Amino acid sequence: MTTIFKDAFAGKRVVVAGGSRGIGRAIALGFAAGGAAVSLCARGAEGVHKAVAEISALGAKGHGAPCDLADGKAVAAYIEAAAQALGGIDILINNASGFGRSDDEDGWAAAINVDLLATVRASRAALPHIERAGGGSIIHISSIAGLVATTRTPPYGAIKAALIQYTQTQAALLAKQQIRVNCVAPGSIEFPGGVWDQARQHNRPLYDATLASIPFGRLGTAEEIADTTLFLASDLARWITGQTIVVDGGQLLAKG
């Protein structure tokens, strides 16, 4: 994790929905290293407790709770608990994904209920707190799958595209409240236990083909997505809103 954001978030209260592993964990730890108080949630209690311990080890205030982000009432309850624990909310990161891959009812339900509706519901619940803070930032984690045809994972790509459009709409609606809304679209990111780590072990043809398609010659890291997210939430991006930043090592360029 870069040190450029050291103390950049001192006094800020950050909520990471989907923050116990991979990209979400890297984002939570990045904000904590930058001086923020951080709350995170995920489905598994063990992962949440471990991530909160890592936040505390950085000297930051940490809070976490298990939450099924497909459950609207659970999302609202978690956001309120996080706001109480942190003393408010300045920044919301929506990172959760149901990874809806199959073009069937289950695949579409997973993508809609987690990737899209959890984002909408968390934003709605956090908005009054961010308004009371005098403004802040909301960042959604989408994917380059939302920018091109995705025959392997139709629900995932379609809903990630919806997040990109929702980012623009939210940004237009919330600008007068001094709330910036942006989006990060990662390419193929590898971390322990993640989709591409599993592909490397169990679907080597897919992994190798994807690796070969990336001009930089490697898959990305969770920390690289975190750094971009922190930039968008920081004062360095204070006049940026409604944008989607692609972080993919040139992976989309190979599709042109």
pLDDT score of 178:
98
Looking at the domain assignment, is residue 81 inside a domain?
yes
d(CA 136, CA 111): 27
CA-nearest of 80, 60, 76 to 6 is 60
pLDDT score of 255:
75
What is the amino acid identity at position 9?
A: F
pLDDT score of 193:
86
Which CATH number goes with the domain that contains 100? 3.40.50.720
pLDDT score of 256:
62
Reported as a single tens digit per residue, the pLDDT across 127-179 is: 999 999 999 999 999 999 999 999 999 999 999 999 999 999 999 999 999 99
Q: Is 156 a catalytic residue?
A: yes
What is the amino acid identity at position 92?
A: L
Angle between helices 117-132 and 72-86 (to 10 degrees): 30
Catalytic residue among 78, 156, 166, 207: 156
Looking at the domain assignment, is residue 82 inside a domain?
yes
Range of the domain at 151: 13-189+221-250
Number of CB atoms found within 10 A of residue 189's CB: 23
CA-nearest of 165, 32, 48, 151 to 96 is 48
Contacts of 127 (CB under 8 A, 6+ apart): 174, 179
Contacts of 256 (CB under 8 A, 6+ apart): none
Where do we find the tokens 């991530």?
51
Between vectors from CA 74 to CA 70 and to CA 76, what angle results, nearest 5°? 105
CA-nearest of 222, 210, 217, 211 to 247 is 222
Q: What are phi and psi of 45, to 5 degrees?
A: -65, -40
pLDDT score of 190:
96
pLDDT score of 2:
63
d(CA 237, CA 233): 7
In the chain (256 residues long), the average pLDDT of successive 10-residue segments reads 84 97 97 98 96 98 97 97 98 93 94 97 98 98 96 95 98 98 97 88 93 95 98 98 98 84
Residue 242: both structure tokens together:
């409604």
pLDDT score of 194:
83
Calculate the alpha carbon distances from 24 to 148, 176, 238, 242 in Å.
24, 28, 22, 21
Structurally, how many domains does the chain consist of? Answer: 1
Looking at the domain assignment, is residue 128 inside a domain?
yes
The predicted model scores a pTM of 0.96
Looking at the domain assignment, is residue 113 inside a domain?
yes
